[in-house]
Amino acid sequence: MIIQKDGYALDIDIEATRKYSQEHSLCDCDEDRNLYVQIRGKFPKLTAFLAELGLLIDRPDETASCAVDDYIDYHFVSYTVVGNILEFDKYEIDMFDGGLFLNIVIDNWYVPNEQKTDRYFTVTVYGIDLPWVLDEPFPKHATLGKMSSLLERIKKLFRWN
């Protein structure tokens, strides 16, 4: 199926994408479980956009995150689409949803861990921050507070006088 919309053109196998999205395994880490339980309700526009591509918003392939104060900063959330990007190698789409400015990058430069098709591209969302809603302790193992302290020490080592 060819999708041409908002300046991008994609050739997508919707059924194969849906099947892949439903069958791949999900990460069971604290931060990802926090994402799964609330992302669909928090971002209705993003949910609809991804659904047009055959994707389920609460079934990403890969994420990277960091615990900060009482929320999780998801550096990126990435999905795999079975198909091809037409005309260009990369598209960027900006969206305001759930009170956040999201940047969506569609490209074929990233290889997710479980990608099982030769014909694919990825949709990666940047800018997602979510509060901690799980009924379990907030993850202390990856807080930005610890990272920023380390970064400050590194900066001091490299200061020129």
Dihedral through CA 81, CA 3, CA 57, CA 22, nearest 10? -50
* Angle, vertex CA 38, rays to CA 33 and CA 40, nearest 5: 115
Count of domains for the chain: 1
Strand (E) or helix (H) holding 96: strand 90-97
The whole-number pLDDT of residue 26 equals 87
* pTM for this entry: 0.81
The whole-number pLDDT of residue 7 equals 80
Domain that holds residue 110: 2-157
Q: What is the pLDDT along the chain (161 residues), one digit of tens a residue?
A: 888 877 888 999 999 999 988 888 888 888 999 999 999 899 999 999 999 999 999 999 899 998 888 889 999 999 999 998 888 778 899 999 999 999 999 987 666 555 555 788 899 999 999 999 988 888 765 544 444 444 555 555 565 54
Question: Tens of pLDDT along 45-74?
Answer: 999 999 999 999 999 989 999 888 888 999
